[in-house]
């Protein structure tokens, strides 16, 4: 049965939601492999219970706690967000979660905190593509690390998701806890987070280290700044035949463009 | 069964008469599979991307196979690899053309977008040039063309197949977000086949 209708919130898009099968069957989660169906095929090996999250660094109240305890701190919210992958495809995702800002305020950032570094699970036993290949290589350096400026992290759009389509977050979508930053390319929205660290300096992030000329720290969705190897002007919404134009900040310019006033978005891509 | 006497026939019947039709049928099989999957909606969440990947991969694989024919003939002394080479090359051209057609469809045949892609993005440029290089090779794939050009000139022209395969491998490499094993493997295969040809000295007809 369809979930009971709820009035759309101020941050929700009213665009057609991507069906569950596509949203959970076509994923990038390189810890499982680079194929789009690898995560759905292999995510059963991910153990999400129990799950410990560490929040440390430039905070007055560092904490290490079980995810169930953390979830008990906040009432879950529904957010229907656009998701735009840097590869040129997009979806509409009905997330459940809570605002990252609420969590950060609770642990009280110190006056020195400027950035937030997120670290994903590093466990080759559970995440097969973290094991070196036959050639002794891995697709990326593990663990996967992402980062935000503190003001981006505190923005009410920025979510820590624990559910999708009204169900617990599936492994392939980053169970049990993932970041969702809807105005940035999908790779910023780190999956299976185990550690959140507030820092004074800008964190070194995985894709920016792997290919610095292609993936910047900001990674704001921007149709005017092409990827060096492909255009970002259009995208394919999963389920649609024709490409559609990509919107600045993935359609969230009214909410977030002011965060970047005075920043050269071509240089700080 | 009556057969015309050998003296009246233009060429003796080759051994393995099913060889070339078999290769052509086998080469068209994946296209049939692709069309069937597309009609049944079984190409996954991103069918256009899937069709692009499949046609591109098949084009490259067939091109590499066509390049492997001569070294295989030389190494083994078998004659059949030389007889399937043209079919493999033409099949590669067919899939490369389909790959480009799907790309054009995907971009709504918008000339400005395609021009910008081809001129400004090395990833697209490499694939486009590879396809262009295959055009004269496909056009001169007949026995008549070999006769008209003369074997030496025809052979020099058809060395472009190595350049096309190299550019195709580069296109594949640049198309993935992070270098995967498959593009690397194709690149190494093309390099190895080229090395074998160069080492083999002057090719024989």
Tell me the shortest Cα–Cα distance from B39 to chain A, in angstroms: 14
Chain B neighbors of A230, CB-CB under 8 A: 117, 121, 123-124
Question: Which chain B residue shows the shortest CA-CA distance from A26?
Answer: B45
**Token pair 């919107």 is at which residue?**
A247
Give the pLDDT confidence score for residue B1 in this predicted structure: 45
- Under the phi-then-psi rule, with left for phi > 0, alpha for psi from -120 to 50, and beta for the rest, what region is A219? left
Give the pLDDT confidence score for residue A64 in this predicted structure: 98
Length of chain B: 205
Give the pLDDT confidence score for residue B202 in this predicted structure: 53
| Cβ within 8 Å, pair B122-A22 | no
Residue spans of the domains in chain B: they are 20-200
β-pairing, A234-237 vs A145-149, is unpaired
How distant is the alpha carbon of residue B102 from its chain centre?
A: 17
Chain A neighbors of B176, CB-CB under 8 A: 34
| Cβ within 8 Å, pair A86-B177 | yes
Chain A neighbors of B127, CB-CB under 8 A: none
Give the pLDDT confidence score for residue A5 in this predicted structure: 67
Chain A neighbors of B175, CB-CB under 8 A: 229
For residues B94 and B101, the answer to whether their CB atoms sit within 8 Å is no
Give the pLDDT confidence score for residue A77 in this predicted structure: 95
β-pairing, A234-237 vs A89-99, is parallel
Show which residues on chain B lie within 8 Å of chain A, measured between beta carbons: 44-46, 48-49, 106-108, 113, 116-117, 120-124, 174-178, 180-181
Q: Tens-digit pLDDT profile for chain B (205 aa)?
A: 445 555 555 666 677 889 999 999 999 999 999 999 999 989 999 999 999 999 999 999 999 999 999 999 998 999 899 899 999 999 999 999 999 999 999 888 888 889 988 998 888 999 999 999 999 999 999 989 999 999 999 999 999 999 999 999 999 998 887 767 888 889 999 999 999 888 875 555 4
Q: pLDDT under 50 in chain A at which residues?
A: none
The pTM of this model reads 0.87
Predicted interface score ipTM higher than 0.95: no
| Cβ within 8 Å, pair B178-A87 | no
Tell me the shortest Cα–Cα distance from A229 to chain B, in angstroms: 6
């Amino acid at each position: 049965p369809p979930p009971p209708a709820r009035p759309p919130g101020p941050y929700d898009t009213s665009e057609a939601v991507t069906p569950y099968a596509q949203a959970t069957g076509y994923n990038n989660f390189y810890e499982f492999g680079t194929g789009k169906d690898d995560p759905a095929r292999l995510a059963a090996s991910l153990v999400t219970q129990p799950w410990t999250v560490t929040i440390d660094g430039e905070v007055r109240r560092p904490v290490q706690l079980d995810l169930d305890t953390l979830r008990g701190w906040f009432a879950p919210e529904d957010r229907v967000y656009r998701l735009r992958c840097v590869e040129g495809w997009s979806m509409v995702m009905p997330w459940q979660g809570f605002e990252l800002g609420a969590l950060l305020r609770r642990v009280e950032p110190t006056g020195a905190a400027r950035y937030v570094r997120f670290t994903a699970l590093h466990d080759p036993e559970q995440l097969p593509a973290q094991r070196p290949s036959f050639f002794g290589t891995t697709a990326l350096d593990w663990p996967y690390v992402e980062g935000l400026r503190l003001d981006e992290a505190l923005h009410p759009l920025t979510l820590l998701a624990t559910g999708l389509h009204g169900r617990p977050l599936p492994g392939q979508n980053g169970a049990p806890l993932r970041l969702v930053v809807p105005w940035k390319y999908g790779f910023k929205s780190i999956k299976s987070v185990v550690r959140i660290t507030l820092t004074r300096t800008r964190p070194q992030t995985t894709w920016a280290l792997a290919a610095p000329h292609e993936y910047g720290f900001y990674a704001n969705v921007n149709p005017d700044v092409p990827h060096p190897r492909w255009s970002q002007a259009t995208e394919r919404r999963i389920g649609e035949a024709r490409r559609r134009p990509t919107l600045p900040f993935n359609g969230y310019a009214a909410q977030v463009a002011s965060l970047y006033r005075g920043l050269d978005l071509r240089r700080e891509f | 069964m009556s057969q015309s006497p050998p003296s009246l026939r233009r060429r003796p019947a080759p051994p393995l008469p099913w060889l070339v039709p078999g290769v052509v049928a086998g080469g068209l099989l994946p296209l049939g599979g692709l069309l069937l999957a597309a009609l049944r909606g079984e190409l996954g969440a991103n069918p256009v991307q899937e069709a692009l990947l499949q046609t591109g991969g098949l084009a490259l694989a067939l091109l590499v196979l066509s390049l492997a024919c001569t070294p295989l003939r030389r190494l083994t002394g078998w004659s059949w690899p030389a007889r399937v080479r043209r079919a493999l090359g033409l099949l590669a051209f067919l899939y490369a053309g389909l790959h480009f057609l799907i790309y054009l469809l995907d971009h709504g045949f918008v000339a400005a977008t395609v021009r910008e892609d081809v001129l400004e993005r090395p990833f697209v440029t490499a694939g486009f040039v590879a396809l262009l290089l295959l055009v004269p090779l496909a056009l001169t794939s007949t026995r008549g063309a070999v006769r008209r050009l003369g074997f030496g000139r025809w052979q020099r022209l058809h060395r472009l197949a190595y350049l096309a395969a190299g550019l195709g491998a580069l296109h594949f490499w640049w198309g993935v977000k992070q270098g995967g094993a498959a593009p690397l493997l194709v690149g190494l295969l093309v390099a190895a086949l080229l090395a074998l040809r160069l080492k083999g000295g002057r090719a024989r007809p």
